Amino acid sequence: MKIYDRPGFPNPARIRIVLSGKGLDKKVEFVPVDLIAAEHKQKPFLNKNPSGVIPVLELDDGTLISEATAITEYLDNLDGDPMFTGKTPLEKGLIHMMQRRAESMLIDPVGLYFHYGTPGLGEALQAHKSPEWEGRSEWARRNRQTAEQGMRYFDGILEDQNFVAVDYFSMADITVFSGLAFAEAAGLTVGEDLSNLRAWRLRASELPSVKNRTGQQFVADDLRRLGF
């Protein structure tokens, strides 16, 4: 199997946590994609994923699976013993519900804020992100607000339970964890008042599937290249 990704970025980080948890990280060839050069927006990569986003999983028979949730489902169920996507219909329903909220309320708006409210990843990629338009700053502000509201939402969820969706670390937790790392890289910190979310993040960072897989130097090399 091959994974087309870029280490440290939010959606690749999600898959690397899954690979670690399932003991598959040594069985995959990682193919780096140059995001700063907008390689993922060029025809060779678009032939693999017309959405132009990473990661993409390529199986040995040439089958391509994109979208982090779909890749997680595939990898987690390969051995018939899912540990991140749910074992029962109820678990699966709750995990997928919270997974979608983690995307729409946190990781996606953080991404939009990063590209429209900061220098993002530079000029080559900004050409694909509508760099100049009248509502750019307002769109960035709204997405920052959405992400901050999302943090408050998950802080409230974690007041009465140890994990985001079910009683164990699931795909939804992975997405929230990666979203918070992305937020930090974009200059959005978890407020001191969000004690439940901060405590959960600390606990999650020590889990075997997470530890040393995403790291604190989130996209650090790329951001340094851009003068952050």
Residue 6 sits in the same domain as residue 93: no
pLDDT in tens, 8-52: 788 999 999 999 999 998 899 999 998 878 888 899 999 999 999
CA distances from 80 to 58, 83, 170, 174 (A): 20, 10, 16, 20
- Taking the C-alpha atoms of residue 109 and residue 176, their distance in angstroms, rounded to an integer, is 12
Same domain for 106 and 212? Answer: yes
For residue 73, which of 123, 132, 18, 7 has the smallest C-alpha distance? Answer: 18
**Same structural domain for residues 48 and 28?**
yes
Asked if pLDDT for residue 216 goes beyond 50, the answer is no
Residue 14 structural domain: 2-77
Q: How many domains does the chain have?
A: 2
Query: Based on the domain organization, do 187 and 212 belong to the same domain?
Result: yes
Rounded to 5°, angle at Cα 45 from 40 and 46: 95
Same domain, 30 and 108: no
- We report the CATH number of the domain holding residue 15 as 3.40.30.10
- The type of residue at 117 is G
123 shares a domain with 187? yes
Considering the domain architecture, whether residues 142 and 64 belong to the same structural domain is answered as no
Residue labelled with tokens 């074992």: 87
Whether 217 and 118 share a structural domain: yes
Domain boundary among 77, 100, 133: 77
Q: What is the rounded average pLDDT for all residues in the chain?
A: 88
Q: Establish if 82 belongs to a structural domain.
A: no
Which pLDDT value is given to residue 172? Answer: 98
